[in-house]
Amino acid sequence: MSVPRRIAHLDMDAYYASVELLRRPELRGVPLVIGGGRGLARLAEYSGRGVITTATYEARAFGLRSGMSLARAAALCPQAVLLPADFDEYRRVSRLFKAAAARVAPRIEDRGIDEIFIDLSARDGEVREAALAIKAAVREATGLSCSIGVAPNKLLAKIASELDKPDGLTLLEPGALAARIWPLPATRVNGIGPKAGEKLAALGEFETSPLYGERERAALAYAGGVTDPARGVGDALFARLGTHFTEQQILELTALIAFQNLSSKFNAALTVPAQGFCRLPHPISREG
């Protein structure tokens, strides 16, 4: 019998800023942003170009966010503290948290310095316990918190990991999609940014719903072989689009295909074997 897919997405909370707070605990509770190329300073004192790499949750309460210009951030929260990025340290701590997660659940797909996918399919019935064990292992190894979302595929797992931040654990079952996923804006789908979200909102035809009109079904058919919800967004769906569709068609198809994966029709995908996972090489250095 096929094992239902249980894919976890682990995302470190405000990662760069959290690493800095380990070294500068006196800054806890203070709005803190990482960016620029100078030493410790208040945003009000900073002059020059640059953008925020990440911001603590205290800074986000003032509207500061990743990618925002430092000039704009200074206008919104001049009292925020600014620190330059230290990528050597972030990479060192990244190796630590990934090694800690791998000791609990070794089937991992590395997705970046602060996030990984974890295949928990073999832990069916013990998924919550496994996720809690991973969170505890990460905290013990690094002193940092992470948020984990567990769902039947990578797309949903990544969305789920953002729902209860910081230090969250979200188990997303197919029966919960209508309540937790469909009301979300299109920009919560990985790969649909603010500009694409604005275009989709202007079209006024895309909702996270299992119901499609004739136009939607025709567009999905036009995609030609990429409509199978078992494949999942990100599982080799878009490599075929660039040479066959216009930019606008790709924009629309991206949303349609993604939202199809969020529909109740997704139940057909629950027994498809996970792809893209491997066991991390061991041993992984704990020092760097």
* Residue 271, pLDDT above cutoff 80: no
The answer on 165 and 197 residing in a single domain is no
The answer on 99 and 217 residing in a single domain is no
What are the tokens at 203?
């079209």
In a domain, 28, yes or no: no
The answer on 193 and 150 residing in a single domain is no
In a domain, 286, yes or no: no
- Which of 147, 171, 195 is the C-terminal boundary of a domain? 171
In degrees and rounded to multiples of 5, residue 19 shows phi and psi of: -65, -40
Question: Which band of pLDDT confidence, cut at 50, 70 and 90, is reported for residue 253?
Answer: low
In a domain, 206, yes or no: yes
Question: What is the pTM assigned to this prediction?
Answer: 0.72
The answer on 116 and 11 residing in a single domain is yes
Burial 123-133 (b: 16+ CB within 10 A, else e): beeebeebbeb
Rounded to 5 degrees, what angle do the CA atoms 259, 274, 9 make?
Answer: 65
Report residue 106 CA to chain centroid gap.
Answer: 20
Q: Is 20 a catalytic residue?
A: no
The answer on 139 and 11 residing in a single domain is yes
* Residue 278, pLDDT above cutoff 90: no
Mean pLDDT of the 81-91 span: 94
The answer on 163 and 98 residing in a single domain is yes
* Residue 10, pLDDT above cutoff 70: yes
- Which of 171, 197, 216 is the C-terminal boundary of a domain? 171
The answer on 93 and 11 residing in a single domain is yes
Mean pLDDT of the 236-262 span: 48
Q: How far is the C-alpha of 215 from the C-alpha of 4, rounded, in Å?
A: 32
Question: Which band of pLDDT confidence, cut at 50, 70 and 90, is reported for residue 156?
Answer: confident
What per-residue confidence (pLDDT) applies to 9?
96
Residues of the chain with pLDDT > 70, as a percent, come to 64
What per-residue confidence (pLDDT) applies to 18?
96
Question: Which band of pLDDT confidence, cut at 50, 70 and 90, is reported for residue 40?
Answer: confident
- Which of 171, 200, 230 is the C-terminal boundary of a domain? 171
The answer on 230 and 194 residing in a single domain is yes
What per-residue confidence (pLDDT) applies to 82?
93
In a domain, 267, yes or no: no
Question: Which band of pLDDT confidence, cut at 50, 70 and 90, is reported for residue 76?
Answer: very high
Top mean pLDDT of 119-128, 190-199, 212-221 is at 119-128
The answer on 108 and 233 residing in a single domain is no
> Are the beta carbons of 150 and 176 closer than 8 angstroms?
no
In a domain, 202, yes or no: yes
Range of the domain at 152: 7-15+88-171
> Are the beta carbons of 13 and 114 closer than 8 angstroms?
no
In a domain, 22, yes or no: no
* Residue 251, pLDDT above cutoff 90: no
Q: How far is the C-alpha of 104 from the C-alpha of 187, rounded, in Å?
A: 32
> Which tops the pLDDT comparison, 92 or 123?
92
In a domain, 149, yes or no: yes
The answer on 210 and 257 residing in a single domain is yes
Q: Which residues, in sequence order, are CB contacts of 145 under 8 Å at separation 6+? A: 12, 13, 18, 135, 138, 139, 166, 167
Number of domains in the chain: 2
Question: Which band of pLDDT confidence, cut at 50, 70 and 90, is reported for residue 93?
Answer: very high
> Which tops the pLDDT comparison, 225 or 134?
134
Mean pLDDT of the 51-79 span: 94
* Residue 143, pLDDT above cutoff 80: yes
Catalytic member of 20, 58, 109, 115: 115
What per-residue confidence (pLDDT) applies to 45?
87
* Residue 5, pLDDT above cutoff 50: yes
What per-residue confidence (pLDDT) applies to 187?
72
Question: Which band of pLDDT confidence, cut at 50, 70 and 90, is reported for residue 78?
Answer: very high
* Residue 113, pLDDT above cutoff 60: yes
User: Domain containing 106 — which CATH number?
Assistant: 3.30.70.270
